[in-house]
């Protein structure tokens, strides 16, 4: 793909749109804008612009479309697949200044926000009103625009679903600069193809999300978490689907091994309680009636110990302890990152019944390739996070190991009915693996969709397909 290089004339034009101080050119751009949180994909933009209004974005896109300049959107940059990295240079469009909460509609139970609002600020804002936003991705400093554009999942997906399930409407600036509205405050919508749902998870390749109408619900009155240690990963993994099929459906079920706790202790610089068991489930239950939540927790505890071989069940029922244990869980990625020189990640999603077999395959692969591969996962929805650790491998060996290992993992996952990404998306890093998995007909349709939205391929080029 050939794109126009940015000239002084272009910079002048951008300064007219955004103002002098929100256009940052080449040498002044900080290195953090050249990578995302994982850091495996790296490239500087030619210019960084910070938008404060959709009209600026519309003007930028009209100009970029005319001159064939690539535009990559960036939220908080917490992605893990290089999706917000401008691999063809061009313009990096930072939306973090567009961070207004526009309207809380208590009758329709919707919250209208700009894309740069952080998800932690959304939780705090709605909780004060006794309301609740369901999706719960691990990194709370992500923007809502980023989580919409990656269809982020998270811990509570078992009960509350993923970001797509909570988006009622979008405002989008197209590659042409036109502004369109998709969906709205309506609960149901059978009005033609759902372009809204196509935009969600499209990683900034189809349009730029400038306003989001989120669905809210009322705040659950009670939330309790349980920590259940097991003697083996196999027993822990088998317990989750059994709880679900026995009608004690948790809000979240996270799975991890002892090593994740030990990495966390090093990361946090403190000892964690209950840290000496081989495998764990961390569950949470919530609801609108205290007695129902208590009954579910009692039933889950009994079943875990009496029927599914949990060694014990520790009840975490104060807000302080609940926050503490879930923040340890949220920090696993950072803790593993700190345990080595470099990591790369596989975010496969599998049918729940295949997880044990798949993780045995991962353990064998770790021995075969002589590389450390820690993992943990959102067990309730079959989404695993598997990390290859570089440790002291030289660059050549590391690249060979990654390539061989990832190909094997994704092939194995596909043979079990799994898919390349459960929640982190495809971005740049997982493109080849997605291509391997799709039929040519699917790729053709996806390419035609991209062409229809973005005929000059200026929106986040080189990503997803
Ligand atoms: C510690 C940690 C834990 C995490 N846990 C989870 C988890 O549990 N679940 C999960 O799903 N993810 C998780 N993530 C990944 C990451 O937080 C999500 O992918 C998040 O959605 C990215 O949001 P962001 O604002 O950082 O977006 P960025 O990383 O800046 O961008 C992500 C993509 O969205 C596009 N984009 C951003 N804003 C817009 C917009 N307004 N319009 C169009 N395109 C846009 C970008 O171009 C890019 O393609 C985790 C990451 C970390 C570091």
What are 106-146's pLDDT values in tens digits?
999 999 999 999 999 999 999 999 999 999 999 999 999 99
Structure-derived torsion over alpha carbons of residues 184, 185, 190, 195, reported in degrees to the nearest 10: 30
Burial classification of residue 336, based on how many CB atoms lie within 10 Å of its CB (0-12 exposed, 13-18 middle, 19 or more buried): buried
Check whether 102 has a pLDDT greater than 90.
yes
Distances from the Cα of 456 to the Cα of 21, 61, 206, 303, angstroms: 29, 11, 11, 57
Q: Furthest-apart CA pair in the chain: how many Å?
A: 73
* CATH class in words for 8-96: alpha beta
Q: What angle do CA 90, 95, 97 make, to 5 degrees?
A: 130
Ligand 1: which of 48, 99, 139 to mutate, judged by most atoms within 8 Å of the beta carbon? 139
For residues 434-444, give the mean pLDDT.
96
Ligand 1 centre distance from Cα of residue 317 (Å): 30
- Nearest-atom number in ligand 1 for the CA of 427 is 49
Ligand 1: which of 72, 75, 327 to mutate, judged by most atoms within 8 Å of the beta carbon? 75
78, 145 Cβ separation under 8 angstroms: no
pLDDT band at residue 272 under the 50/70/90 scheme: confident
Domain boundaries, the chain: 8-96, 101-218, 222-333, 340-440
Check whether 70 has a pLDDT greater than 90.
yes
Ligand 1 centre distance from Cα of residue 142 (Å): 6
Check whether 330 has a pLDDT greater than 80.
yes
pLDDT band at residue 26 under the 50/70/90 scheme: confident
- Nearest-atom number in ligand 1 for the CA of 78 is 26
Ligand 1 centre distance from Cα of residue 198 (Å): 17
The SS3 of residue 339 is coil
Please count the CA atoms within 13 angstroms of the CA of 218 that sit on its side-chain side: 6
Ligand 1: which of 34, 70, 84, 206 to mutate, judged by most atoms within 8 Å of the beta carbon? 84
Q: What is the pLDDT of residues 226-257, one digit of tens each?
A: 999 999 999 999 999 999 999 999 999 999 99
- Nearest-atom number in ligand 1 for the CA of 153 is 11
For the range 300-304, what are the long-range contacts, defined as Cβ-Cβ under 8 Å and sequence gap of 24 or more? 300/226, 300/243, 300/248, 300/250, 301/226, 303/242, 303/243, 303/246, 303/248, 304/226, 304/228, 304/239, 304/243
The DSSP 8-state label assigned to residue 344 in this structure reads E
For residues 64-69, give the mean pLDDT.
98
- Nearest-atom number in ligand 1 for the CA of 378 is 8
Ligand 1 centre distance from Cα of residue 426 (Å): 11
Pocket of ligand 1 (CB under 6 A): 36-37, 72-80, 83-84, 95, 115, 137-139, 142-143, 145-147, 149-150, 152-154, 203-204, 208-209, 333-334, 423-424, 460
Q: Whose CA is nearest to atom 37 of ligand 1?
A: 146
- Nearest-atom number in ligand 1 for the CA of 152 is 11
How far apart (Å, rounded) are the C-alpha atoms in residues 145 and 120?
Answer: 13
How far apart (Å, rounded) are the C-alpha atoms in residues 281 and 256?
Answer: 7
How far apart (Å, rounded) are the C-alpha atoms in residues 208 and 453?
Answer: 11
Assigned CATH for 340-440 = 3.30.70.2740
185, 108 Cβ separation under 8 angstroms: yes
For residues 299-323, give the mean pLDDT.
95
β-bridge partners, 103: 112
For residues 357-365, give the mean pLDDT.
98
Check whether 159 has a pLDDT greater than 80.
yes
Q: Whose CA is nearest to atom 1 of ligand 1?
A: 139
Ligand 1 centre distance from Cα of residue 230 (Å): 33
Ligand 1: which of 33, 34, 73, 96 to mutate, judged by most atoms within 8 Å of the beta carbon? 73
Assigned CATH for 101-218 = 3.30.465.10
pLDDT of residue 317: 86
Check whether 1 has a pLDDT greater than 80.
no
For the range 413-416, what are the long-range contacts, defined as Cβ-Cβ under 8 Å and sequence gap of 24 or more? 413/348, 413/350, 413/358, 416/350, 416/351, 416/354, 416/357, 416/358
How far apart (Å, rounded) are the C-alpha atoms in residues 437 and 339?
Answer: 32
**Could you confirm whether domain 222-333 is CATH 1.10.10.410?**
no
Ligand 1 centre distance from Cα of residue 77 (Å): 7
Q: How far is CA 314 from the centre of its chain?
A: 29
The secondary structure element, H or E, covering residue 329 is helix 319-330
Q: What angle do CA 365, 367, 373 make, to 5 degrees?
A: 65
Residue 54: CB atoms within 10 A of its CB come to 18
Edge-to-edge strands of the sheet including 383-389?
314-316, 222-230, 279-287, 252-257, 375-378, 383-389, 343-346
pLDDT band at residue 163 under the 50/70/90 scheme: very high
How far apart (Å, rounded) are the C-alpha atoms in residues 42 and 65?
Answer: 24
**CA nearest neighbour of 378 among 258, 235, 240, 222:** 240
Ligand 1 centre distance from Cα of residue 220 (Å): 26
Please count the CA atoms within 13 angstroms of the CA of 323 that sit on its side-chain side: 4
pLDDT band at residue 270 under the 50/70/90 scheme: confident
Ligand 1 centre distance from Cα of residue 135 (Å): 13
pLDDT of residue 214: 98
| Identical fold, 8-96 and 222-333 | no
Look up the pTM and report it. Answer: 0.97
């Amino acid at each position: 793909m050939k794109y126009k290089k940015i000239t002084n004339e272009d910079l002048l034009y951008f300064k007219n749109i955004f103002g002098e101080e929100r256009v940052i050119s080449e040498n002044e751009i900080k290195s953090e804008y050249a990578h995302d949180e994982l850091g495996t994909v790296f490239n500087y933009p030619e210019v960084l612009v910070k938008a404060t209004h959709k009209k600026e974005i519309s003007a930028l896109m009209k100009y970029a479309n005319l001159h064939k300049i690539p535009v990559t959107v960036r939220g908080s940059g917490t992605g893990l697949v290089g999706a917000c990295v401008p691999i063809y240079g061009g313009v990096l469009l930072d939306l973090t200044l567009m961070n207004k909460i526009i309207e809380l509609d208590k009758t329709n139970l919707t919250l209208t926000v700009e894309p740069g609002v952080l998800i932690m600020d959304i939780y705090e804002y709605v909780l004060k009103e006794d309301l609740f936003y369901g999706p719960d991705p691990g990194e709370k400093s992500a923007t809502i625009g980023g989580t919409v554009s990656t269809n982020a999942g998270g811990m509570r997906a078992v009960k509350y679903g993923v970001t797509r399930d909570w988006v009622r409407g979008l405002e989008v600036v197209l590659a042409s600069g036109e502004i369109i509205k998709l969906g709205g405050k309506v609960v149901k919508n059978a009005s033609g193809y759902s372009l809204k749902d196509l935009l969600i998870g499209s990683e900034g390749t189809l349009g730029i999300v400038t306003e989001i109408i989120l669905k809210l619900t009322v705040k659950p009155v009670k939330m309790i978490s349980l920590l259940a240690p097991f003697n083996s990963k196999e027993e822990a993994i088998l317990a989750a689907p059994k709880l679900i099929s026995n009608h004690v459906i948790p809000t979240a079920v996270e799975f991890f091994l002892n090593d994740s706790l030990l990495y966390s202790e090093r990361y946090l610089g403190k000892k964690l309680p209950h840290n000496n068991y081989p495998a764990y489930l961390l569950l949470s239950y919530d609801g609108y009636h205290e007695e129902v939540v208590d009954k579910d927790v009692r039933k889950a505890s009994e079943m875990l110990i009496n029927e599914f071989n949990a060694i014990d069940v520790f009840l975490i029922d104060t807000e302080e302890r609940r926050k503490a244990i879930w923040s340890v869980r949220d920090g696993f990625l950072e803790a593993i990152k700190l345990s080595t020189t470099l990591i790369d990640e596989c975010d496969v999603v599998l049918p729940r019944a295949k997880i044990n077999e798949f993780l045995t395959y991962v353990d064998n692969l770790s021995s075969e390739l002589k590389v450390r591969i820690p993992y943990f996962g959102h067990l309730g929805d079959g989404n695993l996070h598997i990390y290859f650790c570089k440790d002291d491998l030289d660059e050549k060996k590391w690249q060979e190991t990654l390539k061989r290992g990832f190909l094997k993992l994704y092939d194995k996952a596909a043979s079990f009915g799994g898919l390349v990404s459960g929640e982190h998306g495809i971005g740049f890093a997982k493109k080849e693996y997605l291509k391997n998995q799709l039929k040519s007909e699917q790729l053709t349709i996806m390419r035609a969709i991209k062409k229809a939205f973005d005929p000059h391929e200026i929106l986040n080029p080189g990503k997803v397909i």
